[in-house]
Amino acid sequence: MKRNVRMVLRYDGTRYLGWARQPGKDMTIQGKIEAVLEKMTGSPVQLIGAGRTDAGVHARAQVCNAIFDTELSEEEILSHMNRYLPEDIGVVSVKFVSDRFHSRYNASGKTYRYTFWIDTAKPVFERKYVTILEKKPDTEAIRRASQFLLGEHDFKSFCTNSHMKKSTVRTVDSIRIEEKGSAIRMYFHGNGFLQNMVRVMAGTLLEAGYGRIRPEDIPLILEARDRSKAGPTAPPQGLMLMKVDY
């Protein structure tokens, strides 16, 4: 019996080339999961993800779905997946849903977290999930700058795909800056994000924190629609997909 199966995943993206399957390369999140599903069902399975995380980016709650023929229960599918997937990919939940559910098209929003680390002590246990800074930025300047990114804008200046043919207009409805211990965490929520958009926003806000740009420069960067006007793309390991809304 064909079922549409919705899965929530978590993964450490450190050793993977990103979410999306790539011809001739087996180190992708999608590829690893599809291989286990094919072994389970005996037929090729196409997995649809809510978003395509980049190489080295992590996820705490990535949502995906696939339609395949199975007589197994939700619990049996969950057990099989976690038994045969690599240790750095885990399935949190499995649920049968209607055939109309599409993990990408039905998503209404996403939350990403970017983590910077400032400390004289090396982040031995957190090293795969943070970006280390040599000096502390001005977090109040970061907060002021972040306010200019809120709302609906053309974020072309914050997209690394120079050949993007679709609309680059997105809505960012909240940015929260949190300081806790040695970490500075930036939480971004919006209706969708362009390629590397969160990492470019994080890198640009950090520039504001170091005084290399003024918070008031952000509207000019947005209006330019030119990637070279925004700050650097922050490294991938500090980024985590936290939640997908439906």
DSSP reduced 3-state for 50? coil
Name the active-site residue from 12, 26, 54, 88.
54
Domain identity same for 92 and 126: no
Tell me which of 41, 69, 97 is where a domain ends: 97
Concerning whether 54 is annotated as a catalytic residue, the answer is yes
Identify the burial level of 75 via C-beta atoms within 10 angstroms of its C-beta, where 0-12 means exposed, 13-18 middle and 19 or more buried.
exposed
Q: What is the largest CA-CA distance in the chain?
A: 60
CATH (domain of 194):
3.30.70.660
pLDDT in tens, 27-52: 999 999 999 999 999 999 999 999 99
Which pLDDT value is given to residue 10?
A: 98
Q: Is the pLDDT of residue 26 over 90?
A: no
Mean pLDDT of all residues in 7-32: 95
pLDDT in tens, 77-125: 999 999 999 999 999 999 999 999 999 999 999 999 999 999 988 899 9
Mean pLDDT of all residues in 130-157: 97
What does the CA dihedral 33, 105, 219, 236 come to, rounded to 10 degrees?
0
Which pLDDT value is given to residue 2?
A: 94
**What is the band of 23 on the pLDDT scale with cuts at 50, 70, 90?**
confident
Tell me which of 75, 97, 119 is where a domain ends: 97
Cα separation, 106 vs 103, whole angstroms: 6
Whether 143 contacts 177, CB under 8 Å: yes
Please name which of 17, 50, 68 lies closest in space to residue 192, comparing C-alpha atoms: 50
Using DSSP bridges, classify how beta strands 2-11 and 109-117 pair: parallel, antiparallel or unpaired.
unpaired
**What is the band of 165 on the pLDDT scale with cuts at 50, 70, 90?**
confident
Q: Is the pLDDT of residue 164 over 90?
A: no
Domain identity same for 67 and 137: no
Domain identity same for 35 and 146: no
**Is residue 221 in a domain?**
yes
pLDDT in tens, 192-242: 999 999 999 999 999 999 999 999 999 999 999 999 999 999 999 999 999
**The tokens of 222 are what?**
């947005």
Cα separation, 207 vs 186, whole angstroms: 14
Residue 42's domain spans which residues?
2-97
CATH (domain of 55):
3.30.70.580
Please name which of 60, 45, 52 lies closest in space to residue 29, comparing C-alpha atoms: 52
Which pLDDT value is given to residue 153?
A: 98
Domain identity same for 90 and 146: no
Tell me which of 41, 63, 97 is where a domain ends: 97
- The count of other CB atoms within 10 Å of the CB of residue 194 is 19
Domain identity same for 46 and 126: no
Which pLDDT value is given to residue 98?
A: 97
Domain identity same for 167 and 48: no
Domain identity same for 161 and 197: yes
Query: At which residue do the structure tokens 């300081």 appear?
Result: 179
- The count of other CB atoms within 10 Å of the CB of residue 226 is 10
**What is the band of 152 on the pLDDT scale with cuts at 50, 70, 90?**
very high
